[in-house]
Structure 1
Amino acid sequence: MAVDRQEVPGLPLATATGARVPAVRRRAWFVLALLVCLMLVNFADKVVVGLSGVGMKRELGLDSSQFGVIQSSFFWLFAVGSVLGGWLGGKVRARWLLAGIAALWVLSLVPMAAQVGFTTIVACRVLLGFAEGPTVALAMQVAHSWFPAHRRSVPSSIVIAGAGAGPLIAAPVLTWVIETYSWHAAFGVLAAFGAVFAVLWLLGGDFGPEGARAGDHHVVATALPEHVPLRRLFSTGTLIGMALLFFVAYANTSVGVSWLPLYLRDGLGYDATTAGKLVVLPFLGAAVAVILVGVLSSALTRRGVGNRVTRGILPAAMVLASGVCTVAFSSLDRGVPQMTLLVISACLNSAGYGVAFAGLADVAPTGQRSTVFGIVTGIYSLGGVVAPLVIGRLADAGTSAAAGYGDGFLVLGFTMIIGAVAALLLVDPDRDAARLAAAS
């Protein structure tokens, strides 16, 4: 029977030829750098509406519920794009697929640089969400194709760190563009960067040598079937638990991207300049934390700690702690303690994304990895649909803006705690990989 060989810590496996190893390594890190740029632009596109929120609401006469619709509309076809992109990821070269996705980003951003109405904004955000839906899954698939399984935690985390760097860099730059010119100009800037990335990716990006084991030591092969029915894959505790974990974590992420700038200004009363600086802090902390956790997971793996701990318990525990911090800061007034808990919550929530994706790869055969990533991304994107709408409704329904936002974050925090506890109980990549191999 044909099998897909998944590596876990253990014994030596044959490596690529010595002459080829350095070239593969250099190309791998170059492609990884391009993927970081991809994620940077990807999340800058997400945060721009939140940064433009005050001016957009004033210009178009929108209330918080209508603005919540705009934020939520990004995710209406996000799941469709995720699943479709995941399916295409196994059939179309990454060079053409990701360049095409970037071209769709540009197409959706250009109209926003001119005068637009509510309906046009929603249509553009729906198109952008559809195009960006498969981005994380495809970026992970490409990154994993350049690195062996036991070394994927760090590259996965670096890719996710690019998502944190997007708002980190975009928030002050786009805030300056908005304050100096207009919120329309910010969308024009992002359209230009999207076009630049598309060209760079066409010149240097693509899938890696999936079977290459450059510098691969201390691994043993665990045989998975080349193909496992999706129903069987998604009945494993690992995929169910990871889907729940990603759902609640992404709900938190989408609220941060969509509502944090407005929460700081309307809910807590910070001015535009101060809010533009403060909004950077959660993304800065998250970008650093996600890499540190990837390094920690990799170090634990080298010491023989099982994947249940390094790629299951570790990210779930962090989301659980993030939920507790979210509940805590939701009831505090503006000040250093409140902002500190908000930043810690964002760091912990984002930190486990990379290693969690590595855990998904442990139970997904290589040929189905893009499909599995796409479906999981589609599932967790629903958190991005629901959370901004709920926050918008609660912000309007509160006795004050601060009270409404506080209620929203309280609900979000308890939801995260429930999802994280479920993941702690369900996720075990080693157990599920062994069961899939035994059933083949």
Structure 2
Amino acid sequence: MTIHADRTTDPASPGGAVPPAGRPTERRGWLVVWALVLVLVMNYADKIITNIAGPAIMKDLGIGEARFGVVQASFFALFAVGGIVGGWLMTRVRPWILLLVIMVIWSLSLLPMGWQVGFGTLVAMRVVLGFAEGPTTALAMYIAHTWFPPEKRALPSSVIIAGANVGAVIGAPTLTWIVTDHSWNAAFVALAVAGLVVAGIWLAVGREGNQGGAGAHAAGNVLPDRVPLRAALTTASVIGISVMFFAAYASTSLKISWLKPYLEQGLGYEARTAGNLTALPYLGGMVAVIAIGFVSAALTRRGVSSRMSRGVLGSSLVIAAGVLHLAWAPLDAGPLHMALLVLSACMGSAGYGATFAAISDVAPLKQRGVVLAAVTAVYGVGGFLAPLVLGGIVENAATKAAGYTTGFTLVGVVLIVGGLVGMLMINPERDAAKLAAIAAAEAPEPPSAPADGVPGKE
């Protein structure tokens, strides 16, 4: 059985030697994390642009909610495929370079919308964008985790997930202003230019670290370098994380795709007000993700198992988000409705962020990219289905408000189920031990010593 003990090489070091671990390495790691936050900021701003510009796009293109649902779902059409392809490429291309390439692709996919385009072009470019963005979160987590040992990964993971919320906090009011005072076409061009600038920053800063590290630290188990891929992908923890993330991302994708149209068309807010209110769930989510990251890290330092500090903690928050969904979905516009909506978004984002680090606890280092990509592919399916289904429900409902209520209530139920599955199945210590046993069983037996070489043999 091959065990790894932080022997990954550092490409930035002469001869590939591993520099001594310590504060300089950790400081460099945090510099990379903050660069990844910028990447996620742009990633999320690109996602929400059709949400912010939704009413204007529907008016200009002469389409209804069902066809706009197709536009929103088209982003996720190849999202899962992109995640899988990215996971495969991650084993063949330096991850930081792969991330740079896909950033350039997604920025360029926004440029055609600077001109007047039709429904088909808009859908096609959203498909390309979704394909390019599919592996982004998995790549960001993989790169970040190479800079930190297992017991310190929860906080950087949460900070990176918070970057997505920052993208919406900054992007929602800024893009609303551009769309309202200029045009939705101008907003796409602004995002393309900003994305290329961030790609330049990543070119200067982005690299992998040397903390490959083993997982399942709390139980003292050490993951093997590699196991049969089927075993790596079908542990109960990976399945539980995938189901929980499917539910969480179904909710997130509705926030990405439909929140502003919901506030404007379903609840009657004025366009600029609806755009500004769209930022509130992300602002709350940013604070919650980082706060829960600190909590998870503190629990880990105190010796609490990864199952509790990442699995149970994250799943509980997703269940709470689902309960709050059921509470706010039937309410009319008002402070209570908005407060519950924001709180549910906070719980969902924080649960997602807290649990992401658990993937590295059960994914062997040389297969971690593939496992991350597989999880991304599963939750990408939730991202595809949710906006598509909601568009059909809203268009066929007696009123838009009734359609939105039905759709968001359904997602609340999905969140509760997904959280319960995660709580029951995520147990990194148990599954790391199982993978270690599988690797040991498949390792070749050492050659037997000759009889005359056995001590005590005459």
Tell me if TM exceeds 0.5: yes
1:165 aligns with 2:166: yes
- Which AA in structure 1 matches 2:4? D
Give ranges in structure 1 of 5+ residues lacking alignment: 7-15
Deviates more, 1:195-204 or 1:38-47: 195-204
**Cα distance in 2, alignment partners of residues 385 and 211 from structure 1:** 32
Q: 1:200 — aligned with what?
A: 201
Count of paired positions: 427
* Partner in structure 1 of residue 3 of structure 2: 3
> Does the CA-based 8 Å contact 2:3-2:222 persist in structure 1?
yes
**Alignment-derived partner of residue 268 in structure 2:** 269
Q: Residues 251-296 of structure 1: CA distance to partner in whole angstroms, max 9, x if unpaired?
A: 0000001000000000000001211121111000001100111100
Aligned-pair identity in percent equals 48
> Map of 1:241-252 to 2, 5 A cutoff?
241-252=240-251
Paired residue for 2:50? 49
Q: Distance in 1 between matches of 2:339 and 2:304?
A: 32
- Preserved contact between residue 284 and residue 342 of structure 2 (Cα < 8 Å): yes
In structure 2, what residue type is equivalent to 1:59? D
Match of 1:177? 178
Following superposition, the deviation at residue 233 of structure 1 comes to 2.0
Q: Give the drift of 1:202.
A: 1.2
Q: For residues 293-319 of structure 1, what are the alpha-carbon distances to aligned partners after superposition, in whole Å with 9 as ceiling and x for unaligned?
A: 110001011111111111101110110
Match of 1:424 in 2: 423
In structure 2, what is the Cα distance between the partners aligned to 1:182 and 1:125? 18
Structure 1 position 355, deviation (Å): 2.3
- Contact kept, 8 Å, 1:397 with 1:404, in 2: the verdict is yes
Task: Report 1:354-433 matches (<5 A).
Answer: 354-433=353-432
Verify the 8 A CA contact 1:109 1:190 in the aligned structure 2. Answer: yes
Structure 1 stretches of 4+ moved >4 Å: 16-20, 218-221
Q: Does structure 2 retain, via aligned residues, the 8 Å contact 1:146–1:212?
A: no
Supply the AA of the counterpart residue of 1:311. Answer: R
Query: In the superposition, relative to structure 1, how do residues 262 and 305 fare at CA in structure 2: closer, same or farther (>3 Å)?
Result: same
Task: Note the C-alpha offset of 1:27.
Answer: 1.3
**In the alignment, is the contact (CA less than 8 A) between 2:150 and 2:213 conserved in 1?**
no
Q: Which residue of 2 aligns with 1:338?
A: 337
**Conserved in 2, the CA contact under 8 Å of 1:5 and 1:222?**
no
Tell me the SS of whatever aligns to 1:249: helix
**Aligned residue number for residue 444 of structure 2:** none
CA distance in 2, matches of 1:420, 1:219: 23
1:28 aligns with 29
- Residue 9 of structure 1 corresponds to which residue in structure 2? none
Q: Deviations over 1:36-87 (max 9, x none)?
A: 0000000000000010011100000010000000000001111111011112
Between 221-230 and 161-170, report the one with greater CA deviation.
221-230
Higher alpha-carbon Rg: 2
| Equivalent AA in structure 1 for residue 3 of structure 2 | V
1:3 match: secondary structure = coil
* Matched-pair contact (CA < 8 Å) for 1:4–1:365: no
Return the alpha-carbon distance in structure 1 between the equivalents of residues 18 and 100 of structure 2: 31
Q: Over aligned residues, Cα RMSD in angstroms?
A: 1.7
Which stretch shifts more, 397-406 or 120-129? 397-406
Distance in 1 (CA, whole Å) between partners of 2:332 and 2:116 is 37
Q: Which runs of 5+ in 2 are unaligned?
A: 7-16, 440-458
Label 1:437 to 1:19 Cα distance change in 2 as closer, same or farther (>3 A).
closer
Q: State the TM-score, normalized to the length of structure 1.
A: 0.94
Whole-angstrom CA distance in 1 between matches of 2:82 and 2:19: 40
1:95-118 deviation line (CA, Å, top 9, x unaligned): 321110011012210001111000
C-alpha separation in 2, matches of 1:305 and 1:20: 24
Alignment of 1:6-85 (within 5 A): 21-85=22-86
